[in-house]
Structure 1
Amino acid sequence: MARRIKRTKGTTPPALTADSPCPCGLPDTYARCCGRFHSGEESAPTAELLMRARYSAFVAHDAAYLLRTWHSSTRPPHLELDTGMQWTGLEIVDTTDGSAFHTAGAVTFRARYRHHGNRGELHERSNFEREQGAWVYVDGTFLE
């Protein structure tokens, strides 16, 4: 029987551990899914897996990973993540190219969140390219 964690408005979610379900939505633990990319053990082999790992980095408040996987031409000098933002779900809507055989790709997704108790959704088409052989985030376009 699955247990639900009851939270009150404004509380911090439980910490992400190696054995936690991966926030990206794939059916594996954080350590065996996006955690291996965050640790630097491996690089995401596709644009979609990088998109999932970056989403999980937002969940984990891992600004270093987000900056490390941002294209050098569009990367900000620093990144401060809003501690009031709680990411609650990811849906991959579409992918274009971005496989091991491509040098560019795009991923369209919907990411659900709560910000200071208010629910919302980010719908974006993100563009990715290879930089020095590794997939990196270039930019994105917000969709309605």
Structure 2
Amino acid sequence: MICPCNPKVLYKNCCQKAHINIETVVSVEALMRSRYSAFVLADIVYLHKSHHSATRLSNKEYKELEQWAKSVKWTKLEILNSTENTVYFKAYFIENGNLEVIEEHSLFCKENNYWVYLNAK
């Protein structure tokens, strides 16, 4: 299987490593890529684990997020800029026949000695 975050790389050599052990993630861009892949795969457990404890969604919100992630067709991740603790990206998906895009400056920090998503700037 190709990796959802990069069609030139196999999933097992890319995001699967993070999905198995988040502590292997060495940069915020790698975490962002693994989160995008988790959205594509509707891996809500990983999205919860990779989200800072202070800004995590409720269980109900995660269930809704999982339903939504499964209802759309993810098409592409585009990293526009990455710094030590931020990633500016666009994530493309098709919903109800329309091409949509999420454009976000994401802020990351370390919690429990690994990178996690904090919030959007």
Please, what TM-score do these two structures have when normalized by structure 1? 0.75
Compare 128-137 and 23-32 and name the one that shifted more. 23-32
CA distance in 1, matches of 2:41, 2:17: 13
* C-alpha distance in 1 between matches for 2:24 and 2:97: 34
Identical pairs, percent: 37
Alpha-carbon separation, structure 2, partners of 1:25 and 1:45: 17
1:92–1:108 CA contact under 8 A, matched in 2: yes
**Quick one: which of 84, 94, 105 aligns to 2:81?**
94
Please state if 1:40 is matched with 2:27: no
Tell me if 1:118 matches 2:105: no
Gaps of 5+ in 1: 1-19, 98-104
Report the counterpart of residue 38 of structure 2 in structure 1: 57
Which structure is richer in relative contact order (CA contacts within 8 A, separation 6 or more)?
Answer: 2
Q: Which moved more, 1:123-132 or 1:34-43?
A: 34-43
| Shift in Å, 1:41 | 7.1
Q: For structure 1, which segment, 80-89 or 127-136, has the greater mean C-alpha deviation from structure 2 after superposition?
A: 80-89
Once residues 41 and 95 of structure 1 are traced to their aligned partners in structure 2, the CA distance between those partners, rounded to angstroms, is 19
Give the alignment's Cα RMSD to 1 decimal: 1.4
Partner in structure 2 of residue 133 of structure 1: 113
CA distance in 2, matches of 1:116, 1:64: 26
- Name structure 2 gaps, 5 residues minimum: none
CA distance in 2, matches of 1:139, 1:41: 18
Residue 42 of structure 1 and its aligned partner are, at CA, apart by 5.0
More helix by share: 2
Distance apart, 1:77 and its partner CA: 2.4
For 2:101 and 2:22, locate their aligned partners in 1 and report how far apart those are by CA, in whole Å: 31
Map 1:46-85 to 2 at 5 A.
46-78=27-59, 79-80=62-63, 81=66, 82=68, 83-85=70-72
Cα distance 1:107–1:26, how it changes in 2: closer, same or farther (>3 A)?
farther
Q: Is the 8 A contact 2:90 2:104 kept in 1?
A: yes
CA contact (8 A) 2:18 2:24 kept: yes
Q: Aligned letter for 1:133? A: N
**Which protein has the bigger strand share?**
2
In 1, are the aligned partners of 2:23 and 2:114 still within 8 Å (CA)? no
